[in-house]
Amino acid sequence: MKQETRPRLLPAFVILIAALSLAASACQKSKPPAVETPPSEHVAPSPVGTSQIVLHKTFSVKNSATFPFEIPAHAATPHLHGSFESFINQAGVSDDEANIDFLIVNASQYADLAGNHPSEALFSADASHNQTVNLDLPPSMDQPAKYYLIFRNSAAKGPAKIVKADFRVDF
């Protein structure tokens, strides 16, 4: 009697499918897990050793005048320095009649002042007609920081004052 031999296709087929699946999964590269680095570790150009002019101008102050300036990111030791002098008129009379109030504030202090809320200032000079400023500002870390120079006429009613100001910041 002749014994039938059937090919064993099913087990061979299963082995073939398993081998193809294994080969396909081996070809796919898994992505490494995402690692977040803190913003303070991002590398960016440092402004150290540079400076910028903040204000070099002569202007009139009837009520107030505001001059914003920005410290760039990664400024470790920003230092603001400069001076102003105020006058009653162009003739150059600089005495107590020419007094103005002067403030240096950061962005949140400025928002408080603009909203008529009491606020402190980083620097202030009340009723002055001649002032020299040397002020170390906080480090700006990984974000730029905004500041404001504010000149206000001390006299509630009176003539506009002429102010000659020269300020710069070193990093």
**HEC string for the chain:** CCCCCCCCHHHHHHHHHHHHHHHHHHHCCCCCCCCCCCHHHCCCCCCCCCEEEEEEEEEEECCEEEEEEEECCCCCCCEEEEEEEEECCCCCCCCHHHCEEEEEEEHHHHHHHHCCCCCCCCEEEEEECEEEEEEECCCCCCCCEEEEEEEEECCCCCCCEEEEEEEEEEC
Question: Is the model's pLDDT at 56 over the cut of 60?
Answer: yes
Residue 86 CA, distance from chain mean position: 30
Tokens for 70? 């920005």
Show me where the domains of the chain are located.
47-170
pLDDT digits (tens, 9 = 90+) for 118-149: 889 999 999 999 999 999 999 998 899 999 99
Under CATH, which number does the domain 47-170 receive? Answer: 2.60.120.680
Quote the tokens at residue 23. Answer: 């080969």
Instruction: List, for residues 77-123, the tens digit of each pLDDT value.
Output: 999 999 999 998 766 667 888 999 999 999 999 999 988 888 899 99
Phi, psi of 149, deg, nearest 5: -95, 125
Residue 38's pLDDT band, with cuts at 50, 70 and 90, is: low
Q: Are 138 and 70 in contact (CB under 8 A)?
A: no
- Average pLDDT of the chain, as a whole number: 82
72 band by pLDDT with thresholds 50, 70 and 90: very high
87: nearest Cα among 128, 123, 121: 128
CA distances from 100 to 86, 89, 133 (A): 7, 14, 15
Q: How confident is the model at residue 4 (pLDDT cuts 50, 70, 90)?
A: low
What integer pLDDT is reported at residue 46 of this predicted model? 55
Distance of CA 65 to the CA centre of its chain: 22
Predicted local distance difference test score (pLDDT) of residue 20: 62
